[in-house]
Structure 1
Amino acid sequence: MSFTVLIADDHFPVRFGLELLTKETLGANTKIDFASDFIGILEKIKTQAYDLLISDIMMPGMDCMSMMQEALSLRPNLKILFVSVNPKEIFALRYMNAGAYGYVCKSDSDEELKKAIRNIYLGKRYYPEGVLESRTMMVKGKKVNSLFDLLSQREFAVMMLLLEGKGIIEIANTLQLNPSTASTYRGRIFEKLKVKSLIELSNMAREHKFSLD
């Protein structure tokens, strides 16, 4: 049976490029389907058991972590490789600890992406080079890359939505939370990251090279 891949990105040129690299790595006969948002991913995997999902982490429809949890509940054997512009030092281990099989930055070389795809095809997780060794900051007895590592998965999801410019009501609806709970998460985020406003949070994210595109 052939290896099946679902490629998800909200930009057509990126999907096209990922298709070419995937076929160069796994062979021209590799079966590939496409989605342009997180809801589209879930619709596809409800009807098709893919071996590999290659996806961006910033797309419309819902938050990435919720998509991944639902996707893995539907297809426990699905391997997920995230390809993103966001810094691997902050994002890679968080998503891999939650169930992803690999993480590659869009700024990495084509060979890096091919290596990740090849590893996952062989059943191996792909950790970006240097990520496991880069946790050098000690905070409250915990070795971390940055203060962002102190956030829980839910707090991180709320933070990303705040950085997209969403208000508390919209965040609550997106994550299926009570608005007061979403507001509490915002307070915890500010406390852990030592910021006092959304402007300071945005500046901190920018300093760490976050991208929300």
Structure 2
Amino acid sequence: MIRIAIVDDHAMLRAGLRQFLAEQPDLAVVAEAADGRAAMDIVRRGEVDVVLLDITMPGQSGVDVLAAIRARSPALPVLMLSGHAEAHYAATLLRLGASGYLNKDCDPDELVKAVRTVARGRKFITAAMAERLAEGLGRGDDKPLHEQLSERELQVFLRLAGGETIGQLATSLSLSVKTVSTYRSRVMGKLLLGSNSDLTYYALKNGLIQ
């Protein structure tokens, strides 16, 4: 039996996933969380085999939670779910340690396949994403600029784009204001942007935030 935790701030989506997954004889939803703090409580208990993690949540983003899970339980498979088009995020999240990535509008059977795949310790990407990654081989200069960001830079970028201030970021990430400012400067340089409003526009344009 594959034990699953669903981490998403939308109760109706969790209920829908729980009901569908319960119909599979080898899958069981044993835990749910609506935010990153509750998700880490589940991970610390060590009672799940796969985490289904939403990319967009209040407080900690899915990227933040993924980083925390990787630090706490590096072998625990994390399958990312998002309302964003997979092409915008998949390559970056796989590089940051996700086991797979699916759009929330995917075929339910594909979700089941993904859960079973990552539970076996393998990565999961859709056929469309595999084709995109194959096409990108040897064409590194065609990659979106945000795929150049490190894990911490991506965290800072998404939070700034979402409206957080440098001071708020410093507190939530337990970093100094100077350090966060340095990360912000690196992000701006890599993305060729000049202001926080530019960051927000870039994130919206590329489907990285809603």
- TM-score, length basis structure 2: 0.87
Q: Offset at 1:92?
A: 1.3
Q: Offset at 1:42?
A: 0.7
Q: Distance in 1 between matches of 2:81 and 2:25?
A: 17
Which residue does the alignment assign to 1:6? 5
Q: Distance in 2 between matches of 1:61 and 1:102?
A: 23
Q: Distance in 2 between matches of 1:15 and 1:7?
A: 7
Q: Offset at 1:144?
A: 4.8
Deviation string for 1:137-187 (max 9, x for gaps)? Answer: 799x83553111121111111010011100001111122221111112112
Q: Distance in 1 between matches of 2:206 and 2:67?
A: 26
Helix, strand or coil at the partner of 1:209 = coil
Q: Does 1:19 align with 2:44?
A: no
Helix, strand or coil at the partner of 2:98 = coil
Deviates more, 1:168-177 or 1:65-74: 65-74
Structure 1, unaligned runs of 5 or more = none
Question: Could you tell me whether the CA contact under 8 Å between 2:30 and 2:48 is conserved in 1?
Answer: no
Q: 1:56 is aligned with what amino acid? A: D
Which residue does the alignment assign to 2:185? 187
Structure 2, unaligned runs of 5 or more = none
Helix, strand or coil at the partner of 1:131 = helix
Change in CA separation of 1:26 and 1:209 when aligned onto 2, cut-off 3 Å: farther
Specify which structure has the higher proportion of helix: 2
Q: Distance in 1 between matches of 2:13 and 2:34?
A: 10
Q: Offset at 1:36?
A: 0.7
Which residue does the alignment assign to 1:59? 57
Q: How many matched pairs?
A: 209
Deviation string for 1:72-97 (max 9, x for gaps)? Answer: 34334311111111332231122222
Q: 1:19 is aligned with what amino acid? A: R
How much is the aligned-residue C-alpha RMSD, in angstroms? 2.4
Which residue does the alignment assign to 1:44? 42
Deviation string for 1:80-119 (max 9, x for gaps)? Answer: 1111113322311222222221110112222332221232
Which residue does the alignment assign to 1:206? 204
Q: 2:13 is aligned with what amino acid? A: V
Percent of aligned positions with the same letter in both sequences? 27
